[in-house]
Amino acid sequence: MAEKDLPISLLKALYKKYSGNFATSIVPLPESGSYRRYYRISAGNETVMGVHNADMLENKAFIYLNRHLLKTGNNVPVVYTEDLDRNIYLEQDLGDITLLDYLEQIRKEEHSDERTLEIYRRVIDAMPGLQVHAAAGIDYSVCYPRAEFDVQSMMWDMNYFKYCLLKPLKIGFFEQDLEDDFTRIVNWLNEAVRNSFMFRDFQSRNIMLSGGSVYFIDFQGGRKGPLQYDLASLLFEAKTHLPAFMRGQLLDYYIGVFGKAFDWFDAGKFLKYFYGFVYLRQMQAMGAYGFRGYIERKPLFLQSLPYAIDGLAWLMENQPMPLNLKSLPQVFERLIRLPKIKEYETRHDSFTVTINSFSYKNGIPQDNSGNGGGFVFDCRALSNPGRYEEYKDLTGKDKPVVAFLENKSDVLDFLANTIKLVEQAVDVYIHRGFVSLIVSYGCTGGQHRSVFMAERLSEFLKNKYHVNVVIHHHELEQS
């Protein structure tokens, strides 16, 4: 068995052991910024999420924190069962709508500002439970990779920024002066009270909207820490690029919520360090974009840099750090003025991927874009459901055909390989300002395999990118 197929096989076995039923399909979800892989497992009308993560200590931290957060009344997915020896577990399927997806949906609608503020207020309303109530009785020794967001953690974040962003961008600095600045910053921020549960990566892709409620996922990096950090992560996230007036209103709202909920909450002390943690989070996030983009060669992540730089420019103008720093302000200024950053600005909604399914009997669909190029994938070597009587009148959209194809390793390998090729092209084409790409899947009749492939690629692109996806099933449209 190929190594990449092993998680699917293990998750199928775990699902059978947990539910007593055989999974009818198991579909990998698009990769995100982490190394965890998610799979949607289906059996009849039931779906669960299967997770594989090779980091056992991170899995143990997640399972423990999940159960503790549930016990303390927080909305997180239920973990149904786990096999930590094999680095897998099954959890509640909360659907596909993240806070980021929701914001993208409403951004062009009337009254979008009001709706944006409304959903963020709902998130903030849940933060006392996550940050304070969850801290009661928690065993921070289980947290990974640190029990507390301490001096060491903060230095890691700033060195991430230095080595993964400044170095690849060739931003010059005197190393000792920069290290001295880092030390001054962490010593200052270390004065802030750290007795709450810090989610750590409290951003829009880790906030789900499901069944009318707000849920929180991917908190495996949670630890003891300051209140300010999670709010900084939420309000200054590059991908959501909230306007300054909105960030101000939501900061005031957070202070009001916590002031009413807790007698000990001191707004003045909170604000004294808040923007310092915003700077720290911005550096951590920019380091992550640099690591994914320059070191792992995933250019999509670099598209968040211009928004992060805009946030940094606003901070320097409106909330300068109250410290005597030798090097970092000049480094920030060089970043803000760097022409290369502007190259990463994109308009996702101007890029269109057209996906065709077709029959080779009728020829490859014509490219009317005028650009030429694109991909044509021949599915005729794959397992063919059309040879079986029960599937002849069905298509690659129908559940029995989908189940048949998803249980064929040659089909899943072919799908994964074609998605990888298309994904690489989309990343580069968006970055270079192209406006379109055509992908065509062909099979004998244009009814089963090619339709299935086109639908799966469409689903992948819609989940990962904010691009226009147009799909044509040529043989089905003619019938």
Half-sphere exposure of 316 (CA within 13 A, CB side): 17
d(CA 185, CA 412): 50
pLDDT at 81: 98
Statement: residue 115 has pLDDT above 60: yes
Average pLDDT, the chain: 92
Domain of 378, in residue numbers: 348-478
Q: Are residues 312 and 427 in the same domain?
A: no
Q: What percent of the chain has pLDDT over 90?
A: 78
pLDDT score for 349:
53
b/e burial code for range 14-44 (CB count within 10 A of at least 16 → b) = bbeebbeeebbbbbbbeeebeebbbbbbbbe
Q: How far apart are CA 314 and CA 235, in angstroms?
A: 13
- pLDDT at residue 427, as a whole number: 83
- Of the candidates 324, 342, 360, which is a domain's last residue? 342
On whether both 315 and 410 belong to a single domain, the answer is no
Distance CA 122, CA 119 (A): 5
Same domain, 384 and 444: yes
**Higher model confidence: residue 7 or residue 132?**
132
Q: Do residues 222 and 58 touch, judged by C-beta distance below 8 A?
A: no
What residues contact residue 30 under an 8 Å CB cut-off, 6+ apart?
460, 463, 464
Compute the average pLDDT of residues 366-376: 74
Q: Place 372 in a pLDDT band, splitting at 50, 70 and 90.
A: low
Same domain, 204 and 240: yes
Query: Which range among 32-46, 373-387, 441-455 shows the weakest confidence by mean pLDDT?
Result: 32-46
Cα distance between residue 28 and residue 11, in whole Å? 11
- Look at residue 13 and tell me whether its pLDDT is greater than 70: yes
The mean-pLDDT minimum among 41-55, 169-183, 418-432, 443-457 falls in 418-432
CA distance 171 to 423: 30
- Looking at the structure, do residues 120 and 242 belong to the same domain, yes or no? yes
Residues 117-154: tens digit of each pLDDT = 999 999 999 999 999 999 999 999 999 999 999 999 99
The C-alpha atoms of residue 374 and residue 355 are separated, in whole angstroms, by 10
In this structure, are 323 and 372 located in the same domain? no
In whole angstroms, give the CA distance from residue 226 to residue 325: 23
Please give the residue that has the higher pLDDT: either 233 or 368: 233
The average pLDDT across 230-249 equals: 96
Cα separation of 179 and 49, whole Å?
43
The pLDDT, as a whole number, for residue 313 is 96
Among 92, 108, 136, give the residue marking a domain's end: 92
Considering only residues 321 and 373, tell me which one the structure prediction assigns the higher pLDDT: 321
Length of the chain: 479
Where is average pLDDT lowest: 83-87, 131-135, 346-350, 455-459? Answer: 346-350
- Over range 415-437, report the average pLDDT: 86
The stretch 201-223 carries a mean pLDDT of: 97
Distance (Å, whole) CA 450 – CA 476: 11
Please, which pLDDT band fits residue 107 given cuts at 50, 70 and 90? confident
Find the CATH number of the domain harbouring 39: 3.30.200.20
Q: What order do you get walking across the sheet with 46-52 strand by strand?
A: 25-28, 37-43, 46-52, 88-92, 79-83
Helix axis angle, 175-189 to 328-337, nearest 10°: 110
Number of domain units in the chain = 3
Whether the predicted pLDDT of 375 surpasses 80 = yes
**Do 124 and 171 reside in the same domain of the chain?**
yes
Q: How confident is residue 370, by pLDDT bands cut at 50, 70 and 90?
A: low
Q: What is the CA radius of gyration of the chain?
A: 24
Q: What is the pLDDT of residue 58?
A: 96
Q: Are residues 228 and 133 in the same domain?
A: yes
Evaluate if residue 211 carries a pLDDT over 90. Answer: yes
Determine the average pLDDT of the residues in 445-457.
96
* 336 and 237 within one domain: yes
Cα–Cα distance between 324 and 187 in angstroms, integer? 13
Q: Are residues 193 and 232 in the same domain?
A: yes
d(CA 138, CA 462): 38
Residue 346 has pLDDT above 60, yes or no: no
The CATH number of whichever domain residue 259 belongs to comes to 3.90.1200.10
What is the average per-residue pLDDT within 197-225?
Answer: 97
- Of the CA atoms within 13 Å of residue 241, those in its CB half-sphere come to 15
pLDDT at 2: 44
Question: Does residue 142 sit in the same domain as residue 247?
Answer: yes
The single-letter code of the amino acid at 100 is L
Q: Is the pLDDT of residue 229 over 90?
A: yes
Integer angstrom CA distances of residue 468 from 113, 373, 427, 461: 24, 18, 14, 9
Report pLDDT for 368: 61
Quick one: 266 and 128 in the same domain? yes
Which residue among 319, 342, 365 closes a domain?
A: 342
Would you place residue 1 in the very low, low, confident or very high pLDDT band (cuts 50, 70, 90)? very low
Tokens representing 315?
A: 């901070």
